[in-house]
């Protein structure tokens, strides 16, 4: 059966039934900017940045949430689209306290990048913004809701991807805020500190506490590696500055973890630079060998061979059981 078609910026293209306009555009290599869109979660159309023009539609439509239709005529780069996107970016900037100089996310912020791209040099709208004190009461995540744009990505990351259901929207209207049950601090909530909300946050509202002040994004290089903790083999980026790991994030779209990590993989990297780390074999002198569960299977095999065959003891174990 022939595939449905639509016209994208004047070009006739085929698409798969069920695809959204955004997915069709991405498949065709046409870039539509997004902020709230989180792949693998149900689109919400909350931020209105991915607006496009559909011939015959009463208003511009959010391409992330609008199913593509046979015969549609779509413009992703028209004047109306640009004017509307620009206005929405200005409103988002005006809705919080966005002093990029003091923000941990400077250089790695999607809102900042969009403001630059659309040539926004001044904030036209001066409204009353909610004042939120920075919450750094837990050991791993800094929450600064004065920079939150209420895109909802953190909620989707927590509820739809990690299925922890620790956070959601709270309060109403201008007082809306992302909260745990009862608006308690993370450490007193159902949060398991996987940090998926931090990875999903496109702005500086959620940041890794251990990385604060250590490096700007352009000062680090990203080194891809496999998580050393368990057998799942999650793919992660080490963010390295001057030979030191300052942050860990998940590799988006890679198997087996598809952009997710647990608390150990994301935050448990202090051992790398710990002065207490063993760098030579520790000799206990008690006829017993304990090898490292983080090392490869072949090393563990060789370790038991050494102890059974050379040293002559069956007292051999590794730390996975501790
Ligand atoms: S969240 Fe983004 S736009 Fe806002 S201050 Fe931080 S870097 Fe700037
Ligand atoms: S750290 Fe994990 S569990 Fe906690 S709020 Fe964020 S996504 Fe949810
Ligand atoms: S904390 Fe970040 S991800 Fe969550 S709603 Fe605010 S801006 Fe979006």
Which tens digit of pLDDT belongs to each residue from 209-228?
999 999 999 999 999 999 98
* Residue 282 placed within a domain: no
- Note whether 24 and 41 are same-domain residues: yes
Q: Which residue has the higher pLDDT, 72 or 123?
A: 72
| For residue 82, pLDDT beyond 70 | yes
CA angle 134, 172, 196 (to 5 degrees): 50
> Quick one: what percent of the chain has pLDDT higher than 70?
99
Question: Which residues are paired to 316 by β-bridges?
Answer: 289
* The dihedral sign for the CA sequence 89, 92, 97, 102: negative
- Rounded distance between C-alpha atoms, residue 13 and residue 26, angstroms: 12
- Rounded distance between C-alpha atoms, residue 23 and residue 15, angstroms: 9
| Ligand 3 atom at shortest distance from the alpha carbon of 152 | 5
- Residue keyed to tokens 């792949």: 39
- Note whether 250 and 300 are same-domain residues: no
| For residue 117, pLDDT beyond 70 | yes
- Note whether 152 and 201 are same-domain residues: yes
**Among residues 197, 283, 278, 194, which one has the least CA distance to residue 234?**
194
Residue whose CA is at the smallest distance from ligand 1 atom 3: 112
Model-level pTM?
Answer: 0.89
CATH code of the domain in which 67 resides: 3.10.20.740
**Which residues have C-beta atoms less than 6 Å from ligand 1?**
98-100, 103, 105-106, 109, 111-112, 147, 203-204
Q: Which residue has the higher pLDDT, 1 or 194?
A: 194
CATH code of the domain in which 147 resides: 3.30.70.20
Q: Which of 16, 44, 77 is the last residue of a domain?
A: 77
- Note whether 229 and 202 are same-domain residues: no
User: Total domain count for the chain?
Assistant: 4
| Ligand 2 atom at shortest distance from the alpha carbon of 161 | 7
Q: Which ligand is nearest to the CA of 93?
A: 1
Helix (H) or strand (E) holding 81: helix 79-94
What is the per-residue pLDDT for 175?
Answer: 87
Check if the beta carbon of residue 8 is closer than 8 Å to that of residue 27.
no
Check if the beta carbon of residue 89 is closer than 8 Å to that of residue 112.
no
Average pLDDT over the chain, rounded to whole? 93
Q: Which ligand is nearest to the CA of 38?
A: 3
E-state strands within 101-234: 141-143, 167-170, 177-180, 206-208, 221-226
243-290 pLDDT tens trace: 999 999 999 999 999 999 999 999 999 999 999 988 888 887 777 888
Structural domain including 197 reads: 126-211
How does residue 174 score in pLDDT terms, banded at 50, 70 and 90?
confident
88 DSSP assignment:
H
| Strands 73-75 and 51-54, bridge-based pairing | antiparallel
- Note whether 227 and 206 are same-domain residues: no
Q: Which of 37, 60, 77 is the last residue of a domain?
A: 77
Q: Which ligand is nearest to the CA of 197?
A: 2
Question: How big is the chain, counted in residues?
Answer: 322
| Ligand 3 atom at shortest distance from the alpha carbon of 155 | 4
- Residue keyed to tokens 């973890």: 257
């Amino acid at each position: 059966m022939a595939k449905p078609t639509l016209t994208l910026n004047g070009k006739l293209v085929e698409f798969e039934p069920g695809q959204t306009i955004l997915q069709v555009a991405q498949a065709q290599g046409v870039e539509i900017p997004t902020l709230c869109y989180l792949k693998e979660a149900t689109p919400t159309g909350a931020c209105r940045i991915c607006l496009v023009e559909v011939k015959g539609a009463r208003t511009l439509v959010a391409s992330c949430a609008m199913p593509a239709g046979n015969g549609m005529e779509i413009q992703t780069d028209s004047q109306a689209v640009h004017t509307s996107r620009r206005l929405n970016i200005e409103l988002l900037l005006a809705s919080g306290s966005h002093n990029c100089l003091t923000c941990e996310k400077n250089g790695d912020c999607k809102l900042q990048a969009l403001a630059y791209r659309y040539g926004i040099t001044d904030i036209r709208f001066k409204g009353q913004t909610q004042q939120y004190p920075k919450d750094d009461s837990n050991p791993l995540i800094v929450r600064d809701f004065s920079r939150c744009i209420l895109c909802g990505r953190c909620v989707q990351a927590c509820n739809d991807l990690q299925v922890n259901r620790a956070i959601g929207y709270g309060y109403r209207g201008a007082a809306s805020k992302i909260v745990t049950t009862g608006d308690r601090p993370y450490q007193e909530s159902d949060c398991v500190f996987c940090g998926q909300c931090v990875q999903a946050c496109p702005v500086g509202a959620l940041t890794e506490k251990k990385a604060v002040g250590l490096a700007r994004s352009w000062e680090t290089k990203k080194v891809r590696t496999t998580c050393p903790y368990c057998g799942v083999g999650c793919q992660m980026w080490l963010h390295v500055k001057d030979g030191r790991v300052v942050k860990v994030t998940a590799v988006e779209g890679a198997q087996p973890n598809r952009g997710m990590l647990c608390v150990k993989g994301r935050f448990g990297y202090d051992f790398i630079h710990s002065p207490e780390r063993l760098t030579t074999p520790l000799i206990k002198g008690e006829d017993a060998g304990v090898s490292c569960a983080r090392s490869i299977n072949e090393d563990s095999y060789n370790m038991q061979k050494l102890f059974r065959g050379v040293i002559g003891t069956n007292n051999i174990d590794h730390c996975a059981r501790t």
